[in-house]
Structure 1
Amino acid sequence: MISVNRNWARQALATGLLFVLSQSCLAAVDIEKKITQHIDKSLADSASLLEKTVNINSGTMNFDGVKKVGALYQAEFDAMGFETQWVDGEEFNRAGHLVASFGSTGPKILMIGHLDTVFAKDDAFQNYKRIDDNHVAGPGITDMKGGDVIIIAALKALKELDLLDKVSVKVVMTGDEESSGSPLSLSKKALIDAAIWADIALGFEDADGDIKTAVVARRGSIGWQLDVTGKPAHSSQIFTDTIGYGAIFEVARILNTFREELAGVGNITFNPGLIAGGTEVTVQPENSIVQGFGKTNVVAKEVTVKGGIRTLTPEELTKAKNLMQDIATRSLPHTSATLTFEEGYPPMAPTEQNYALLKMYSDVSESLGYGPVEPVNPRNAGAADISFAADHVDMAIDGLGLMGEGGHTKDEIADMTSFAQNIHKAAVLIYRLGENWASMGE
């Protein structure tokens, strides 16, 4: 009789727990529904903010424009009760960055955007223009003012519904993502400091423009310069023991050997984007101009090549740099080469934690009826600010912004059907992180 009562008690307890859990799940579903409904009610205001900021030119070197966009977003955060700061960029020759912070409990979430675009102040592409019911063109609309507004709209909904108290949020919107200030130690300091503080980083770039994907890995991007010298002489003396092969043949050897020994290795790609050679070469780095002067009957004395290299991991970058240096030193007679590497974007390596965060984001998407989200092929996602943060946080994903196509061109067009969806997903993800962080073992 006693055992029967114990079994009955255990069954009742299990039934009660299941009831509590089911009620808890139902309550969570109700809250998430309220979040999406609240976002939808404010969608017109969010779209208006997007249009207003797209119509302000904020090419990286248009400091006034970048600051104006930053001021509009700063006002939005101030109205929400965030602590805001404008980080002046004079020390690194850029406009500066916007930082906004809220909360002191729960998971520390860094949300990353940028204020600048690739379109200069005098560019012909300047205005927000509706194409049809679902598509809008505009400079920087997907890269990435759409992502900035998604950040603001998601946080605004959570704040107005009193659902931000279980998370700590720091938003960094940089003013130099498209053309980094120098030195990087200063231009990226606000972002890196925020990443050191954070547990999680969420980037709101548009990635490959496909709402069914997000980024768990980005290849790093750095520049390189190859300077080659040869022994000048009348062209009739080329290939002789006293003159050798000249600078142009030597640079051709180096570049071709780069191709033979590095092309197809892992996720490494490299590209010689500028080249000039002859009797004399001049370089204007501030304007990306390389010019050569020479004659067809003179053995070339100088060649300069400028290029870029992209790798998925620090190990790949080290391997590529070492191999390229080795190739550059295998000089043809009477030639020499100097290969230098610039500062740039570090790789955002794929990690198990990044994939786990993507799984959470995908679960949010599916529960909202939008389908699963898969990882982007790193070859389809360029470098971005999240790369400076990824090594400092437990987990990171990017590509949560406004989707579209034609980024960095005058055909930049946003798919506005992704606007509300990605605000919904960002807000619900943040809500779930706050609710579940303790159970995740953090």
Structure 2
Amino acid sequence: MEKAVNISSGTFNLAGVQAVGRLFEPEFSSLGFQTNWIALPDAVGRAGHLFAERKGGKGKRLLLIGHLDTVFEGDSERFVRLDTLAAGAGSADMKGGDVVILYALKALQSAGVLDGTRIVVALMGDEEDAGPLHLVSREPLIDVAKRSDVALAFEEDAGKGTVARRGMSGWQLVVSGRQAHSSGIFSPGSSYGAIYEAARILNAFREKLSNEHYLTFNPAVIVGGTDVTYDSAKISGTAAGKDNIIAPRVFARGDLRFISQDQLLKAREAMRAIVADHLPGTMATITFEDGNPAMPPTKGNFALLAIEDSVSRALGQGAVEALDPGRRGGGDISYVSDYLDALDGLGVKGMRSHTPDERVDLRSIVPATERAAILIYRLTRSR
């Protein structure tokens, strides 16, 4: 783990991500896996992924998912042991999880039970920021999922099993109103202005949709006034206005999180209807962009959780319950959960992930590895 953490591998450090892949590649090769670095088109702007595969005929076909990239990097993010904890970029999210995958497989190899199994390890190079071409980047992962039976992901252990993850979508609102002297606002034939219209829309989103379970939407930025600039790539803008002028322009954008594709589509339909109900003298449009898909809770996912619970109890680690999907963000397993049964949260325990103060609980490595090894063993012995 220390070697992996000490390789700076922020998502946009392509050489660093590839270097972490080179660290793990010979380890999987020594276990009889055929390794392959999956290069991506230049337009994607990401490093690629390390895949390792064993072909056999025993039990369920497993897909084990980790990732090589981190949010932060640099000399200040190197591995530092702090008694039972360790600091460093990716120590918990998720180079620690990658180590769990590797050493669980090493344990199975040493016990002589890895031969004949059908396992693919996918260590993704851009989980933290897959970019606008994320579907291109995820094609290799989806292709493997379509010929697998079970996906296990080794994101941070949150104390409960992850049988569902919410998906994420983006939205952008553009509002216009007729510019005029402010003394005429609310008068027949005048405009309510873009700012009132934007406020109406956002508040109506809250009133109509905020009580739906697992559905959230957050306005992240809003700029409005007489002179407005907005950069959608940087999600930033400027605004200026005058007290006596009805504002003609507003831009706003944010995210939309959901538990299923059906919930997403219904939410978008409701939002479009709200936007279309204009105040006098205004116009508004809303556009949506796809992000991470959702991983809905399914019977198959809960069946995997039951096996993990049985393994945990057998090891004396206690019961494992399902984590509230509202407490977990997006992840690579969501891209494949439509094709197979899926379970996440099998990695190490940590804290302060996605901050410069990320920590891993070193005491969690061995229990996580034991749990993963026995879970993989049981699945590769079942049909």
Report the TM-score, using the length of structure 2 for normalisation: 0.95
For the residue of structure 1 that corresponds to 2:288, the secondary structure is: strand
For the residue of structure 1 that corresponds to 2:267, the secondary structure is: helix
Note closer, same or farther for the CA distance 1:296–1:166 as it changes in structure 2 (3 Å cut). Answer: farther
Structural mapping, 1:387-406, within 5 Å? 387-393=334-340, 395-406=341-352
| Structure 1 counterpart of 2:349, one-letter code | M
State how far apart, in whole Å, the 1-side matches of 2:305 and 2:76 are: 35
State how far apart, in whole Å, the 1-side matches of 2:43 and 2:152 are: 27
Identify the match of residue 329 of structure 2 among 382, 387, 399: 382
Q: Does 1:349 align with 2:302?
A: no
Superposed displacement of residue 305, structure 1 = 1.1
For the residue of structure 2 that corresponds to 1:281, the secondary structure is: strand
Superposed displacement of residue 108, structure 1 = 0.7
State how far apart, in whole Å, the 1-side matches of 2:27 and 2:234 are: 36
- For 2:366, the equivalent position in structure 1 comes to 420
- For 1:126, the equivalent position in structure 2 comes to 77
CA contact (8 A) 2:73 2:89 kept: no
Q: 1:26-79 deviations in whole A, cap 9, x for unaligned?
A: xxxxxxxxxxxxxxxxxxxxxxxx111112221111111111111111222122
For the residue of structure 2 that corresponds to 1:86, the secondary structure is: strand
For the residue of structure 2 that corresponds to 1:390, the secondary structure is: coil
Superposed displacement of residue 432, structure 1 = 1.2
- For 1:155, the equivalent position in structure 2 comes to 105
State how far apart, in whole Å, the 2-side matches of 1:162 and 1:80 are: 11
Identify the match of residue 58 of structure 1 among 4, 9, 13: 9
- For 2:355, the equivalent position in structure 1 comes to 409
Q: 1:224-264 deviations in whole A, cap 9, x for unaligned?
A: 11111111223233223343111111110000000000012
| Structure 1 counterpart of 2:240, one-letter code | F
For the residue of structure 2 that corresponds to 1:386, the secondary structure is: helix
Superposed displacement of residue 280, structure 1 = 3.3
Point out the structure with the larger helix share: 1
- For 2:225, the equivalent position in structure 1 comes to 278
Using the aligned pairs only, state the percent identity: 45
- For 1:336, the equivalent position in structure 2 comes to 283
- For 2:24, the equivalent position in structure 1 comes to 73
Structural mapping, 1:167-182, within 5 Å? 167-182=117-132
Q: CA RMSD in A?
A: 1.6
State how far apart, in whole Å, the 1-side matches of 2:236 and 2:203 are: 23
CA contact (8 A) 1:110 1:202 kept: yes
Structural mapping, 1:10-409, within 5 Å? 50-89=1-40, 90-106=42-58, 107-119=60-72, 125-132=76-83, 134-206=84-156, 209-210=158-159, 213-393=160-340, 395-409=341-355
Q: How many residues are aligned here?
A: 381
Superposed displacement of residue 159, structure 1 = 2.2
Report the more deviating stretch, 94-103 or 230-239.
230-239
Q: 1:246-291 deviations in whole A, cap 9, x for unaligned?
A: 1111110000000000012121111111111112333333333233
Note closer, same or farther for the CA distance 1:296–1:171 as it changes in structure 2 (3 Å cut). Answer: farther
State how far apart, in whole Å, the 2-side matches of 1:361 and 1:398 are: 11
Gaps of 5+ in 2: none
Note closer, same or farther for the CA distance 1:126–1:296 as it changes in structure 2 (3 Å cut). Answer: farther
| Structure 2 counterpart of 1:402, one-letter code | V
For the residue of structure 2 that corresponds to 1:308, the secondary structure is: strand
| Structure 1 counterpart of 2:70, one-letter code | T
For the residue of structure 1 that corresponds to 2:92, the secondary structure is: helix
CA contact (8 A) 1:104 1:168 kept: yes
| Structure 1 counterpart of 2:300, one-letter code | Q
Q: 1:204-242 deviations in whole A, cap 9, x for unaligned?
A: 0015x32xx110011111111111111122323322334
State how far apart, in whole Å, the 2-side matches of 1:266 and 1:340 are: 23
| Structure 2 counterpart of 1:131, one-letter code | L
Moved beyond 6 Å, runs of 4+: none
CA contact (8 A) 2:77 2:356 kept: no
CA contact (8 A) 1:220 1:387 kept: yes
Superposed displacement of residue 120, structure 1 = 5.2
CA contact (8 A) 1:172 1:190 kept: no
Higher RCO (CA 8 Å, separation ≥ 6 residues):
2
Note closer, same or farther for the CA distance 1:98–1:290 as it changes in structure 2 (3 Å cut). Answer: farther
